[in-house]
A and B are shown apart, each in its own frame.
Chain A
Amino acid sequence: MIELIVSLIAITLQTSTPLLLASIGECIVERGGILNLGIEGAMLIGAFTGFIGAYFTKNLLIGLLSSIIGGIIIVLIFGFLVIKMNLDQVISALAINLLSYGICIYFFRMIFSQGSFPYLSELFSPIPIPFLSEIPIIGAILFNQTIFVYIALIIIPILHYLMFKTRYGLSLRAIGENPSIAYRLGINVSEIRYIALIIEGALVGMAGGAICLSMFNVFDTRITAAKGFIAVSIVILGRWNPIGVLGGALLFGFAEALSLWVGTLIIGPISASISQLLSILPYLVTIIALLIGGRKAKGPASLGASFSRE
């Protein structure tokens, strides 16, 4: 029994990781007043470029790097639409999601001919941390994980520091509350926002990479399955705070892990039916969580509003 629970927690950490990476990135950008619902697409692109990079170089680290670059590029396109062109953030995000989907589906089949099923021969394997991983029970949970889990856990305190203990973070929060006042104070609104978007792009791209390079070894356009949108929900429920976001990501990762875990427990003819039904669990949990916790959520005052210097 303990073994089963340990495995459930270990799966939770794994399923939480893409959510955590994406939502912490989204948290930063939203603190600067930009609502980026396009991270679904950016995550997909990250998975795609990560897969391509790893497939052709046979090197997972290059795959990781290319997923980061892919994520940054797509998020910067979004940034160009909403910052430079000052377009509506929600529609721009919808456009980015559709474009990302189009890019992946078209170029995947342009690179790999119709009917072929390319796969990666290896995935990122868990890296046990010497000594710590040998601690009974929690060692296996916390200290025998893939590189993505470690990155996600390290990034939380770093970004918390960035947001609350640096001039950059203060400027970013000021912009999120009121960009025109921040501009009049001499803060370079566009520059600060672009930096936040680059950080987000890297994290969201990496989230896509985490799915493709450590969980599955194939690419499919359904691979992100609304994880970007769940990440945005996590930011709301985590009240735009890195610590809250960590909690939210673990909760939703748990829901996803549970749906996978229960499926493996049940044996017999009913198992296929149950596990198919359980696949709606993460989405259902998100909707219910938003119903309960999304009500009084108040984000940065200018979140989603357009800002132009004129």
Chain B
Amino acid sequence: MTLLDVKDLSIDIHGIRPLDGISFSVDKGEILGIVGESGSGKSLTALSVMGLLPLIGGRIERGSISFDGTELTTLKEPAFRKLRGRRIAFITQNPMTSLDPVIRVGAQIDQVARLHLGLDAKAAQARSIEIMEQLRIPEAATIYHHFPHQLSGGMKQRIVIAMALAADPDLIIADEPTTALDVTIQAQIVDLLVELVRERGLALILITHDMGVVAQTCDRVVVLYAGRVAESHDVTAIFASPRHPYTKALIRCIPREDTLPGSLTGIPGAVPSVAHYPPGCRYHPRCARMGVPCEKVVPPLEHPTSGGEIACHFPESNGGANV
């Protein structure tokens, strides 16, 4: 069943609109990937769902975010606070800076259970250590008393994940949880997250710029470009036949074993900044398939019979439906 349903979401930050009509949904036990280069609006999507836009001076302009039947866009802050950390948990990008440096890591995990589950200090500590052990943190009872600066990056990210799990949430939003880590640690952390979702039946939104991670972990994927949905579909379908030129380009960026060092290429050009979105399809200045309408007409988000969604005037035809 649908746990989180985001419909036609647009946000406003100081008079600009970095997210423009985003829709997606996540079911229980499902892993949804949200993919795009930096600047495409992935992190803002996370903040919108968490109700934390006001922190950066933003607000929801239009659309709805429905979580387990509750409408979040109109939810008052005290009620929202009971959801945050309790039912929707957040894992941030950089574990190096995500923990309060002057508080012992154990106490930072305790905080969540004490706040949301009403546990006393002792019970919270027992629970935190138990979760740390489940996350395969060695000598959890010792690490519990450490300060963040005494831990490695991978260990810190496990602490952040422990914080996210502390109140048994239904949905975890992980914003580039591995970007700041070593390559070997990255795989461990991703595996850990996937395992948690499968074991506990959680829903996970995995925000990443890496299509390779999506291929390994996600069930479905939403591709964002410059604040709009470019394409979304099941992971198998999207890798079998990407239809949006941007999706295709992202897939081409995945490094393969046979790629020669140095031949790894990104997509030429960069995501336009929010203040300078081009008219029409926002991808057209970088698109090889660009045609006449792309410069002027915004491609509508269509729902082809083959499933998924696509917003492109000239989609790749091998998908079959829109020829």
- On whether the two chains bind one another, the answer is no
